[in-house]
Structure 1
Amino acid sequence: MDSRLHAVLTAHDHVCTTRQLCAADVDEVEVARLVRAGELVRLRRGLYVGGVQWHGATPETQAVLRARAMLLDRPGAAASHASAAALHGLPLYGTDTLVDLVADTPRLRTRGGVRLHPWPEGVESAPVGGQPAVPVAVAIAQMSLGSSIPALVCLDRALHEQAVTKDSVLTAGEALGLVPRARARLNRLLDLADPVCESVGETRTRVMLVDLGLHVRSQVDIHDAQGFVGRVDFLVGERVVVEFDGMVKYGGADGRRALQAEKAREDRLRAAGYVVVRLVWSDLDDAERVHAIIQRALRQAA
């Protein structure tokens, strides 16, 4: 990579504008070549991100890069909704690729990959790593206006990390002046939240089990006659253990050892009279299958 291009990207957190590139003597012909070579990725006209940082990045990292780039083009704006959540380090699930910003605009409008919202009265920016963004609680309250699962994924993690409280999110929602229907959505979200939940997969699993009408407890310590067996993801009823398995922790030698320890723990659970159900990502899109598995486990446990 050209040293001047590298310096421009480094100075601006791996994003840049055409104007910044031109100031470093990277002209339009060279920009087009760099895009073809994958050294730059064009997000929209006049806005670019470094290819090394973009390719292979997680959805959260790509959301952060998009937000940084769009903020370069919108002085005085701040990231909001899921874009702010990503900047604050929260996980994303089920969100689109548009960048949400609040700015001095009279109405909601979408253009060039940006969803521009009027700046909420009384809300101040809470910069993250030098990037303007609304506070975490405000971002989650804003997300509650849309699909509940993406907002709940962020809320569970923020509660788990003690970045917010349920009261602070509720207060943020009240400050946004939510209409009664939106306030009711936010209240349902807060009722469903669980601060002990540790991952996106666990949040989605818990919601599915609740939606299936099951009595669920999260992160339950299990003991047998020998002592502490382990902490399970979920306990349904009194004797059905449900574990979400993301399948990423079993690679390599360490992963094999972890798998062996997991098997030993599972053997102890079964010996103590528990029925163990393991769910993977694909199961979370098949409620009928999960319902059948859990019902069979409940009958076996009884």
Structure 2
Amino acid sequence: MKNWGKEYGLINLTHLSYSDRHIHDQLVDGSLIRLTAEVVMSGATYRRLPPWERAAAKAFAVGMTVDKAVVGGQAAARLWGLQTLTIENAVACYLPGKKVPKSPRQWPEGVVYRYGYLSARDIREFHGIRVTGLISTVLDIARNDGLHAAVVVIDSARRQWESVTPEYLHRELEALQRRRGVPVFREAIELSVPNSDSAQETRARLILHEANLPEITSIRPQVRFNRGKSGRYYVVDFLINDRVIVEIDGRSKYKTDTPDQLETALLAERDREKLFTNHGYTVLRIEPKQLDAVAGAECEFLQLVRAVLHKEATAA
């Protein structure tokens, strides 16, 4: 596990002496910001971080300051370096064993304690903080955040670590049969793949799976397209019916240092799409917000897929 505290220069105020007055001066002038009541970091560094890294810094800061608690849920998954479906509003923590947390009125700001038995074998300690182990982390997510969130984390773990296979996950679950969330965990294993490239890609795949559109005969994630004899290739997020390419565009995709770099990136993307269309493929480019469901209606992503598949069928 990455040492997020060192990575972002987190400072524990309880370890400072009175002579470290300059730290307090920086808090006053805004150069440092508080992640928790006791942990601070550079405000400039924090503002440069993408949201998920800000959440990782916050989760690590909580881990630095809780006395006995163990960081769990999506916060723990993020500290493990795994992608998550959402960014939580509060860092979930457990007390080891059968200990019961204090009244919610006494919880630190930005922390929520969850109730449940946590054995010593389910706890890992890294860089001075405690987090739940991988299996307990996913089970916690399956129980509290749902199927899609659990699949996202499993997809990410399978992509990073070859040892995390469906067989391994099912075997580890055998000892947890009586825990809440096990059925959801098992379903998430069956829906997971080893080569999903992002949380939004996983989410789009699950939306298609649950829609069960009769027009769809196959969905292949991370399909590779060779670029002639050069040995170079493109990889697309997934391919529907071997004809429709779906690409999920994250906001960070075109982050560049200069306008010239941005123009180069956009031209390369245009050339990539031209190669696909010249070979008869339909390219469907989706933004994450188009995956959001609208009350009483399908999400825009599903509507677009239906329209493209209908067009493909009528043109055949």
TM over 0.5: yes
Residue 15 of structure 2 corresponds to: 20
Which stretch shifts more, 234-243 or 89-98?
89-98
Alignment correspondent of 1:297: 308
The equivalent of 1:91 in structure 2 is 83
* TM-fit CA distance, 1:197: 0.7
Look up the equivalent residue of 2:268 and give its one-letter code.
A
> What corresponds to 1:73 in structure 2?
65
Kept after mapping to 2: 8 A contact 1:143/1:151: yes
For residue 213 of structure 1, report the CA deviation from its aligned partner: 1.9
Partner of 1:135: 133
Q: Report sequence identity in percent.
A: 24
Query: Normalized against structure 2, the TM-score is what?
Result: 0.76
Contact kept, 8 Å, 2:138 with 2:153, in 1: the verdict is: yes
- Structure 1 residue identity aligned to 2:46: W
8 Å contact kept, 2:139–2:185? yes
1:263 is aligned, of 240, 264, 270, to 270
Q: Give, as a single letter, the amino acid of the residue that structure 1 aligns with 2:302.
A: H
Q: 1:233 aligns with which of 233, 237, 252?
A: 237
Residues 88, 128 of structure 1: 8 Å contact kept: no
Find the residue that maps to 1:219 and give its secondary structure: strand
- The answer to whether the Cα contact below 8 Å between 2:138 and 2:185 also exists between their aligned partners in 1 is no
Contact 1:137–1:168 (8 Å) recurs in 2: no
**1:217 corresponding residue in structure 2:** 220
Q: Does 1:194 align with 2:193?
A: yes
Q: Deviations over 1:222-278 (max 9, x none)?
A: 469989863321111231111112253334434433433332332232232221111
The verdict on how the C-alpha distance between 1:35 and 1:151 changes in structure 2, with shifts beyond 3 A counting, is: farther
Equivalence for 1:205? 204
Please list the CA deviations of residues 271-294 of structure 1 after superposition, one character each: whole Å capped at 9, or x if unmatched.
322211111122122544222221
Tell me, yes or no, if the aligned pair for 1:71 and 1:79 is still in contact at 8 Å.
yes
Question: Which residue does the alignment assign to 1:6?
Answer: none
Amino acid at match of 1:298: L
How far is the alpha carbon of 1:119 from its aligned partner?
A: 5.1
- The answer to whether the 8 A contact 1:82-1:139 is kept is yes
Tell me the matched-pair count: 288
Asked if the contact 2:290/2:300 (under 8 Å) is kept, the reply is yes
Q: Note if 1:107 corresponds to 2:100.
A: yes
Deviations 1:86-118 (A, max 9, x none): 221122332323222332353356411333345
Name the Cα RMSD after superposition. Answer: 3.3
**2:167 paired with 1:167:** yes
- Residue 140 of structure 1 and its aligned partner are, at CA, apart by 1.7
Counterparts of 1:126 and 1:30 in 2: how far apart (Å)?
31
Alignment equivalent of 1:253, drawn from 247, 260, 264: 260
Partner letter of residue 149 of structure 1? H
Any gaps of 5 or more consecutive residues in structure 2? Answer: none
CA distance in 2, matches of 1:231, 1:54: 32
What is the distance in 1 between the residues matched to 2:66 and 2:177?
Answer: 25
1:15 alignment partner AA: I
Gaps of 5+ in 1: 1-8
Task: State the alpha-carbon separation in 2 of the partners of residues 24 and 106 from structure 1.
Answer: 36
Q: 2:227, 2:234 within 8 Å by CA — same for their partners in 1?
A: no
Shift of the 173–263 alpha-carbon distance from structure 1 to 2, 3 Å rule, reads: same
With over 3 angstroms needed to count, the CA separation of the structure-2 counterparts of 1:184 and 1:144, relative to structure 1, is same
Give the deviation of 1:176 after TM superposition.
Answer: 4.0
Question: How big is the shift at 1:130?
Answer: 4.2
**Residue identity opposite 1:67 in structure 2:** A
1:97-149 deviations in whole A, cap 9, x for unaligned? 32223323533564113333455225243333443222223312221112233
Distance 1:170 1:63, change over 3 A: farther
- Distance 1:192-1:255 versus aligned 2 partners, 3 A rule: farther
What is the alpha-carbon distance in structure 2 between the residues aligned to residue 230 and residue 30 of structure 1? 49
Q: Distance in 2 between matches of 1:226 and 1:254?
A: 27
Using the size of structure 1 for normalisation, the TM-score is: 0.79
